[in-house]
Amino acid sequence: MKVARWTPESPLDLSRSIARHARYGPNLLNVVSGEYLYRTTIAGIPYRIRQLASGDIEVGAPRSLDRAVAESRYRLGAMLPVEPLLDVSERVPAVADQLCRAPGYRPPLNPSVAEVLVTSICSQQVNMRWAATTLNRLVERYGEPLELDGIRLWRFPSAERLAAAREADIRAMQLTTRKSSYIVGLGRHLVAGDLDGLQHESNERALQRIMAIRGLGRWTADWFLARCLGRPDAIAAGDLGVRKVVSRYVAGVDEVLAEPDVRAATDSWGDGGNWAIHLLLERWADGRIQNRRKSRGANRGP
């Protein structure tokens, strides 16, 4: 095992940042065990990360350590600018409050084009727990099982395997007919190189190229900008969860704002938008968890 470490330039709380990986049930791609997060690089090399008492992030891998370090930095948002987020927090009390509660939280970024887009397809119009279930089934069928430190984890399916899959086999995993078709079609586009070089495109051009693929609409494209390309100003304004948190924590209204109104409410956030929205989503998730605990306590009685 080769080991390296890197120092975050701003506060980073690894445990808080990776907690969402276990929020919706077992996660075959991001395995949290003890103090470590295990996963693979895009090239399929397993690695692990943990946070040291100094705050540094330690990365361990059997080979390709430089690549593992680079990907760990990306996944933990090392490139996201802090100053624009602090500017948003000065104008939006809910963002400031969540920053106080979780100062080291980082948005869940992922440099794998295939993984982000397929995950989005699985998540279309279903709850997150069911999306995680169907994604796990897809990964077990078409991915590659690996092991590190006795921990079993999976490499995400290659574009070639997805492109060659039978739609009927994907439907058997309880994905819809349309989603099965979208996943196979996406695999073929990836093999053909139709989505190569997106990291070099402007936001608008990247949106256009993604939405040109059957089954990938604005919702998917916006989340892709935010979580795969790591664009600091990207906000998935059409997402129901995003609409809810902006309605409650920014606009202070009970009704759920429409997408155009969410875009208008967050237009001035600039390069702090991506991080700020993820903080508000975590605030919402924290509230739901607390409410469930209170409900269980009330049900138990005295």
Q: What is the pLDDT of residues 209-218, one digit of tens each?
A: 999 999 999 9
Percent over 90 (pLDDT), the chain: 91
- pTM of this structure: 0.92
Phi then psi for residue 234, to 5 deg, are -80, 130
**Average pLDDT for residues 190-195, to the nearest whole number?**
98
Dump the DSSP string for 139-174. Answer: HHHHSEEEEETTEEEEEPPPHHHHHH--HHHHHTTT
CB 41 within 8 A of CB 73: no
Distance (Å, whole) CA 262 – CA 244? 9
Distance (Å, whole) CA 43 – CA 185? 22
What's the N-to-C CA distance of the chain in angstroms?
52
Collect all residues with Cβ–Cβ distance below 8 Å to 149 and sequence separation of at least 6. 36, 38, 48
pLDDT digits (tens, 9 = 90+) for 217-269: 999 999 999 999 999 999 999 999 999 999 999 999 999 999 999 999 999 99
CB 221 within 8 A of CB 207: yes
Helices 128-142, 113-123: axis angle to 10 degrees equals 130
